[in-house]
């Protein structure tokens, strides 16, 4: 039988599975949760994003804000793996994107433009990369669970 155990490591929450004495497989594995900060201005957009990712066992919402002025401070304090922001112009990279990815290159940003049914995923590797994402529950969850490619061919 596999038994779950929650523990913290710094600011991260880990779910570790231990096998019971009757289990001879000797399996032990840690599941790191993806840490997400949601910073969408329209409340409805935030609620939709939170409803989509909030009950996923491998995703942890570490904070939310509607105030763009708070984003940098929250990223500094919460150190999320992903930042989900609203995008008013899907063709234009959000203003904070370059600054935040320059300062926190390990973080990824998902910019969602609900009124245009458009999402773009940004990450940094020497320069800032992006790709179009389907604006749906599956599209958002796929981005949060993916590992960005370091080199495009």
Residue by residue, pLDDT tens for the chain (153 residues) are 333 343 434 434 444 434 344 444 444 445 688 999 998 777 777 888 888 888 899 999 999 998 888 999 999 999 999 999 888 776 778 888 889 998 998 999 998 886 667 788 888 765 677 888 888 889 889 888 887 665 443
68 touches 39 (CB < 8 A):
yes
Q: Which two tokens stand for residue 123?
A: 């990450």
Distance of alpha carbon 77 from alpha carbon 73, whole angstroms:
6
104 touches 93 (CB < 8 A):
no
- pTM over 0.85? The answer is no
Distance of alpha carbon 32 from alpha carbon 41, whole angstroms:
28
Distance of alpha carbon 18 from alpha carbon 1, whole angstroms:
8
| Domains of the chain by residue range | 1-32, 34-145
Identify each DSSP E strand in 1-147 by its residue range. Answer: 2-9, 12-19, 29-32, 34-39, 59-64, 82-86, 108-113, 118-125, 127-133
**pLDDT of amino acid 150:** 53
| 34-145: CATH topology | Rossmann fold (3.40.50)
């Amino acid at each position: 039988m596999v038994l779950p155990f929650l523990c913290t490591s710094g600011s991260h929450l880990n779910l570790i599975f231990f096998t019971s004495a009757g289990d001879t497989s000797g399996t032990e594995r840690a599941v790191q949760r993806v840490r997400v900060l949601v910073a969408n201005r329209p409340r409805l957009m935030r609620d939709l994003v939170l409803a989509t990712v909030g009950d996923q066992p491998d995703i942890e919402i570490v904070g939310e804000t509607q105030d763009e002025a708070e984003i940098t401070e929250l990223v500094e304090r919460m150190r999320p793996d992903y930042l989900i922001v609203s995008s008013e112009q899907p063709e234009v990279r959000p203003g904070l994107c370059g600054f935040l990815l320059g300062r926190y290159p390990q973080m990824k940003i998902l910019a969602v433009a609900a009124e245009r049914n458009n999402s773009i995923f940004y990450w940094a590797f020497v320069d800032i990369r992006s790709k179009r994402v389907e604006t749906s529950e599956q599209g958002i969850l796929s981005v949060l669970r993916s590992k960005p490619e370091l080199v495009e061919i």
